[in-house]
Homo-oligomer: A and B are copies of this chain.
Amino acid sequence: MNRRLRVAMIGGGKDAFIGAVHRHAMALDGHYKLVSGALSSSPEKSLASGRELGLASDRNHPDWHTLLADEQRRPANERVDLVVIVTPNHLHYEVAKAFVDAGFNVACDKPLVHRWAQAEELAALVKARGTAFAVTYNYTGYPMVREARELVRSGVIGKVRKAIVEYHQGWLAGAMETSSNKQSSWRTDPAQSGPGGALGDIGTHAENLLHTITGQGIEQLCAELSSFGAGRTLDDDASVLLRLEGGARGVLLASQMAIGHENDLRIRVFGERGSLSWQQEDPNVLVHAPLDEAPRKLTRGSANLSEAARRACRLPPGHPEGFIEAFANLYTELAADLHAGTRSGDYPRVEDGARGVRFVERAVASNGRWIAF
């Protein structure tokens, strides 16, 4: 077994949902250890969070600038192998740019940044520095999403004609952002979360899922955004028509006021010779319906899956793997790249993150009209 990779985390302190998820995901397969952190925008909270997580005091920092300076000072055999950025969205740009510029490998939560111009700049910088840069679109880490991608690639369902991707949540159906709920408040503030509401928060996951499985980019889109919550400035509901490269049509629906749905990301892809259907809340199953034959239920862990899917499984069929496992798959693929110095792992890159930013920006710009992507 390789040594554990050293990790610094920016953001993700106490009470931060996504920071804990990243730590679980890194822990699961034993490839990483957290050694350094600047875990909050508040220095006091940052240090307290670091103590709670057992960081050594000389690597427990009040802010990310201090952390960066400290890491740059350290010898290579102490320096972190990876910087994980799980701050609120509006800080991603500045933090990611600084660490990439200093030659650090980065894993950054989504959406990558707020603006396409920022994303382009960051992608160019990553290219120039040659660092590894993962964007944690975790849902594409599920084994059966990879299986779907491989089935499309290998032509099993024929040329793709249409894809329908939906992401429905209901947790913003009430007036939560007026309460003290930390999750909902920053997600509905444009300054913190970027120009998209539901679009940025969950729509980008849908875009990534669509692109990952079909392999086809968006050429044109027509987006209808709505804000149903009282006093909400950002969209909490989006319906987007798509024209994909290669002629396929698409529909992308994202909503956070869909009562009865918890975290219901799902996709259907229709080809000339078959279709595929997958749902995040039942992630171990992929339904494949061949033309004129009975639909088949493919399951995670089965012997006849593609190599890419099998590599993402820890357990035999019938032993459910979930959200954290899918998240961990990105980190495990990234670990292989970090150990080997390669850039060939199966995880989303800065370009995928940039495309997601573009998607939000263009959907907001569409305002009900068809526009080019």
A residues at B contact (CB < 8 Å): 1, 3, 17, 20-21, 23-24, 27-30, 52-54, 157, 161-162, 164, 169-170, 173-174, 222, 224, 226, 228, 237, 239, 241, 249, 251, 253, 255, 257-264, 268, 270-275, 277, 280-284, 287-299, 301-303, 314-325, 368-370
Query: Which residues of chain B are near A270, meaning CB under 8 Å?
Result: 173, 255, 257-260
Q: Are A263 and B28 in contact (CB under 8 A)?
A: no
A55 to chain B minimum Cβ distance, whole angstroms, is 10
Q: Are A239 and B241 in contact (CB under 8 A)?
A: yes
Q: Are B296 and A275 in contact (CB under 8 A)?
A: no
- Given A17-B316, A27-B28, A320-B320, list of 9 further CB < 8 A pairs? A161-B237, A170-B289, A174-B291, A174-B292, A260-B287, A260-B295, A294-B296, A315-B324, A322-B325
Across the interface, name the chain B residue whose C-beta is closest to A255: B162
Copies of this chain present in the complex amount to 4
Q: Could you tell me the distance between the alpha carbons of A113 and B215 in the complex, rounded to whole angstroms?
A: 42
Q: Are B260 and A318 in contact (CB under 8 A)?
A: no
Q: Are A323 and B315 in contact (CB under 8 A)?
A: yes
Q: Could you tell me the distance between the alpha carbons of A281 and B319 in the complex, rounded to whole angstroms?
A: 7
* Residue from the list B24, B239, B261 in contact with A28, Cβ < 8 A: B24
Q: Could you tell me the distance between the alpha carbons of A293 and B270 in the complex, rounded to whole angstroms?
A: 23
**Given known A226-B249, A239-B251, A320-B283, contact A370–B368 (CB-CB < 8 A):** yes
* Residue from the list B29, B259, B290, B303 in contact with A289, Cβ < 8 A: B259
> A-B pairs with the 9 shortest C-beta distances?
A263-B318, A260-B289, A262-B318, A320-B322, A322-B322, A294-B296, A262-B317, A260-B275, A319-B323
